[in-house]
Amino acid sequence: MRNIYEKLKSGDLEFRCLHCGDCCRVSGYVFINRKEGIRLAKFLKIEVKDFFNKYVQSYGARMRIRGAADKACIFLKGRSCTVYAARPSQCRKFPFWLESMSDAESFIETAGFCSGVKKLLENE
């Protein structure tokens, strides 16, 4: 397993997303910044202020997509992201978040909520 992590880090192994949508269903929030909100508003063809009013909530000094932490993202339909082309960077970077890639153990933990990582580890 540690070997897989090293190979991924060095680029010798490519991660394949299975498009299961599981990472959009796990408990947690999707954080965005203003630029990402503007991009999402454009994608949805709505006014920027309407986007922020309807879909965004403050979270301390940060902004996040509205929705309960233990529910699927409001932009998920079935297994697909309805705003995929304009999705926030948090979503684009998964499962390679800095904290996930800080060490092999942390990366292995992502197998608990990412079928693609789980499959990689199973095929080792």
Residues that bind ligand SF4 (CB under 6 A): 17-24, 30, 73, 75-76, 81, 83, 87, 91, 94-95, 114-116
Give the total residue count for the chain. 124
- Provide the minimum distance between the beta carbon of 26 and ligand SF4 in the complex, in angstroms, as a whole number: 8
Minimum CB separation of residue 15 from ligand SF4 in Å reads 8
> In which residue are the tokens 């397993």 written?
1
Nearest approach in angstroms of CB 104 to ligand SF4 is 18
DSSP lists the bridge partners of residue 33 as none
Instruction: Give the Cα-Cα-Cα angle 102, 104, 105 (nearest 5 degrees).
Output: 95
Q: Which is nearer to ligand SF4, 49 or 79 (CB)?
A: 79
Indicate the residue among 18 and 57 with the shorter CB distance to ligand SF4: 18
**What are the start-end ranges of the H helices in the chain?**
2-10, 34-44, 48-55, 89-93, 104-109, 115-122
